Amino acid sequence: MELETLMSLLLFSSILWFLFLATKSQSKFPKIHSATTTAIPKSYPVVGSVFSIAANFHRRVHWISDILHTVPSSTFILHRAFGSRQVFTANPAVVQHILKTNFPCYRKGHTLHLSLGDFLGNGIFNADGETWKFQRQISSHEFNTKSLRKFVETVVDVELTDRLIPILFEASRNKTIISDFQDILQRFTFDNICIIAFGFDPEYLLPSLPETAFAKAFDDGTRISSVRFNAAVPLIWKLKKILNIGTERRLKEAVAEVRGLATIIVREKKKELIEKSVLESVDLLSRFLSSGHSDEAFVVDIVISFILAGRDTTSAALTWFFWLLSKHSHVENEILKEIIGKSETVSYDEVKNMVYTHAALCESMRLYPPVPVDTKEAAFNDVLPDGTFVKKGWRIAYHVYAMGRSEKIWGYDWAEFRPERWLSRDETGKWIFVGVDPYSYPVFQAGPRVCLGKEMAFLQMKRVVAGIMKQFRVIPAMDEAFEPEYIAHLTSLMKGGFPVKIEERSCTVQ
C-alpha cells in the first residue's frame, strides 16, 4: 500500500499538492475556503476552483444552493480543474430548456458514464440514445393501472401487514428505540421493488433486521460512485482505480457483490421463464428477458438501476416526511382526518384519494428532495434562456434542492412546511390538489425523461403513511432542537440515521 501511495504521489505530485493546500492550509486562503461563503468561487489557472470545491466537498449540495440563491439569474458557471466547466442552475426557464425545449442537446454524457458506469453499467439512469429509449419503452408497460393496483393491494399491503407493522408494534409494546427508522424504510422499499419488478423476495425486512453484504455493498457503491462524479480532481480516483487501492478497491468489491445478487435474480427469472410457458403474472424483468435481449450483463444493469430507484429514493422521501410530521402536529391531524373511515387495509382507490397526504409528501420532497441535483452534458454548443453560453462537453446541473428553497419560486414563506400551498378547497370544502409547474418542481424530472415510477412512488408512500399513522406515532428519539443533516450521494440521506420511538395511538385526532 505504501509503495502504491508513493507511486500516486510521484505521478501526480502537483495535483496532490494543490489538494493538500486546499484541504489543509485554509489559513492561507480564508476567502476561498470559507464554508459559509455565497460568492461564486474564484478560479485559478489550470486548477480552476479546486480549492473551493475541495473545501466545501462535505457540504457541496448546500454550498452550491447558497451560491445560486445569491445570483440574480439563479445560474452560474463553476470552473473545475484543467479547463472543465459545470453550469449550475435553479432557474425554471433554464430547467425547461434542458429537459424539454432542447432535450437532444442535454444527455447523461461521457463524465457520468465514466464515473457511474462501474456501478450502474448501461442501466436506464446511466443510458442515452437508443439504449435509454428501449429500456424506457419496455418499462412503461409496467406502470399501467392494473400493475399499480396490484402493487398497492398485494405487494405493499403484504410487506406492511406482515413485516413492517409487527416490527413497529413490538417496539411500541417494549418501549424500545428503533435505532434507525431510515434503515427500516430502506429494507421495506427494497423488498417492495424486488417483488414487484423482479418477482423476487429478498426478505430483507425481518424482525431480526439481518445485516447483509448486499445492502452494505449497495450503499458503498452509491457513495463511492457519487464521490467519483463530484471529485475536485477526477484523476485521483482514476489513478486509484488503476492501482486498485483505497475506495476504488472497495468499489470493485461492492460492485462484485451487487452484481452477484442481481445476476442470481436474472438467472432465476430465466429459469422460471423456461419452465413456465405462461406465467401467472408478468413483471418488469420478465418483459426485458422476453424482449429478445439475451445479454445477461445488460439485464443485470437494468436490475441494479431499478433497485436504486425503488429502494433509495422512496425511503429517503419517507424518512424526511416522518421527521417533518413530528414537528408539525396540525399537518399530522389533517392527515389523520383523511385516514379515518378508510378500510382496515386501505384500498388502491382510497389511497389515490388521499389528497392532503399527497400534498404533504410533495411539500416534504420540496424541502428534502430524494435526488438533490441532476446533471446532464451538452452534446453541442448552446445558449440558455438566461443568456449563459454552454460549450459542447460542459456539464450542466439543475439543482433541485436549491429550487425547493428558492424565494423566487415559492415566496417569502419558502422555509415553512405548508402542504396547503399545494391545495385549494372546492365548493363543499373538500381539498383539491393543485399541481405545480414541473420545471419549477423537478423532483421527478420532467419532459421526455420524467420519472416513470412517479405515480407508483406516491401510491406506495401514501399506503405506508396510512398504514403506520392509523396505529402509531413516530417520534424522533433525539433532542427536540436537533436538526438532522441532509447529505447526498446519488440519492439523499439523513446523516447518521433516524432514531425513533414508536407509540400506539390512543386516539386519532387531537
Q: What is the chain's Cα-based Rg? A: 23
Q: Amino acid identity, residue 261?
A: L
**What burial letters (b/e) apply to 265-275, b meaning 16+ CB within 10 Å?**
bbeebbeeeee
Cα–Cα distances in angstroms (integers) from residue 295 to residues 254, 259, 289, 378, in the given order: 22, 14, 9, 30
Place of cell 502537483: 14
Q: Are strands 395-399 and 85-89 parallel, antiparallel or unpaired?
A: parallel
Structure-block grid coordinates of residue 362? 410533495
Annotated binding residue 451: yes
Residue type, 344: E
The beta strand positions in 167-291, using DSSP E, are: 177-178
Helix, strand, coil percentages in the chain from 3-state DSSP, rounded to 5: 60, 10, 30
Alpha carbons 88 and 373: distance in angstroms, whole number? 9
Sheet strands (E) in 151-286 = 177-178
Long-range CB contacts (< 8 A, 24+ apart) of 325-333? 325/360, 325/474, 326/474, 326/475, 326/476, 327/417, 328/417, 329/510, 331/360, 331/417, 331/419, 332/469, 333/509, 333/510
Q: Are 269 and 236 in contact (CB under 8 A)?
A: no
Listed in sequence order, the DSSP H helices in 34-72 are 50-55, 60-70
Residues comprising the binding site? 451
Residues comprising the binding site for heme? 451
